[in-house]
Amino acid sequence: ENSPAPLPERAIYGFALFLGSWFGFILYLIWAYIPETWLFSLGLTYWPQKYWAVALPVYLLVAIGIGYILLFGINMMSTAPLNSTHTITDNYAKKQQQKKFQEEAIPALSDIPISEVNRMFFLPEK
Amino acid sequence: AMEERRYRSASGAPIALQCRQHSACCRELAVRCPRLQLRSLSAATSAVWLVAYGLSALSENSMVLSAAMFIVLIGLIVYLHFVKVDQESLLVIGSLGIQVTSSYASGKESTTFIEMGQVKDVVINEAIHMQKVIYYLCILLQDPGDPQGVSEVVPLFQSSKPRLDCLIEVYKSCQEILEQRKTAPQSS
């Protein structure tokens, strides 16, 4: 029932959005470029200051630029420092229950403690 | 018996690992970082002084030059005393504890001792550090309430950051001593 295939309703929504966005863009151009006196003579006196026709796009672009740097910084801040136990374990691994070992069966998925992993990798068993 | 081997740090700088066996259950492992190069020191100093000279010529104020000289001097002293690590060593004494020493370029030495009862294990852990994934040796401290739990992680060799081959040597050495605790008779 929830397929992404094209439907007549979706075509109508798309066309309405297309017309709406073109209308909004032409309105924005009229507001930004047509001199105030001409707009007043037409009777449109209560439109916002033309200052905002430049200010809002600039605000948006600066916000996007800062967003890149902010995201980078947030990522660096949420990386666990080298001396935290979060690099070794977490709540799920602490609370896990040891399932009983069954012969001829695949062992259950579980977190292997770091000491055991180290011994397996770095100490060669003779 | 003492032996020294050359390795590389995580950033590519040459480091040296010295391994001394004092007795059957006592071993000292020291990683020596590359010394402060005269050419990088003079390059940094000349750069700062050129900038200060340019600024003082622009602003026609001679205080900028003396301020720059002062800053370079103080900065160099602070760097040598607090930042530049000459050697980091690990002294493992079975059944007593582990001592971690950092010797700075100015001669200052800072030591930390962790008694063996608190040490759960010494492992090589990998973690994300400044857009890189590095291997580092760390001491896991025992959680007093939980025999399986780790209360704290103490990273070692933070300034020299040896690569995995050096870390494996240190790890094997430490494990030889730590294994003796299991076979030795418990006394508490």
Q: What is the pLDDT of residues B75-93, one digit of tens each?
A: 999 999 999 999 999 999 9
| Signed CA dihedral, B95, B150, B168, A120: sign only | positive
The whole-model pTM stands at 0.80
Contacts with B145 (C-beta within 8 Å, 6 or more apart), sequence order: none
A90-126 pLDDT per residue, tens: 888 888 887 777 888 888 888 889 999 999 999 987 5
Q: Buried b vs exposed e over B106-121: b needs ≥16 C-beta within 10 Å?
A: eeeeeeeeeebebbbb
Q: Do B123 and A79 lie within an 8 Å CB cutoff? A: no
Which token pair is B43? 């390059």
Query: Would you list which residues of chain A are within 8 Å, Cβ to Cβ, of chain B?
Result: 76, 79-80, 82-85, 87-89, 94, 113-115, 118-119, 122-123
Query: Would you list which residues of chain B are within 8 Å, Cβ to Cβ, of chain A?
Result: 120-121, 123-125, 127-130, 136, 138, 140, 148-155, 158, 168, 171-172, 175
pLDDT at A97: 80
Q: Which of B7, B8, B70, B72 shows the shortest CA–CA distance to B41? A: B72
Answer yes or no: are the C-beta atoms of B12 and B66 closer than 8 Å. Answer: no
ipTM: 0.79
Starting at the edge strand that comes first in sequence, how are the strands of the sheet with B2-8 ordered?
Answer: B2-8, B14-23, B26-32, B85-93, B97-104, B109-115
| Signed CA dihedral, A103, A104, A105, A106: sign only | positive
Look at residue B157 and give its three-state secondary structure: coil
Answer yes or no: are the C-beta atoms of B102 and B33 closer than 8 Å. Answer: no
Q: Do B151 and A85 lie within an 8 Å CB cutoff? A: yes
Apex B172 CA angle, B94 and A91, nearest 5: 85
- B141's torsion region: left (phi>0), alpha (psi -120 to 50) or beta? beta
- Domains, in order of start, for chain B: 2-36+84-183 (2.30.29), 38-82 (no CATH)
Domains of chain A by residue range: 8-78
Phi, psi of B100 (to 5 degrees): -110, 125
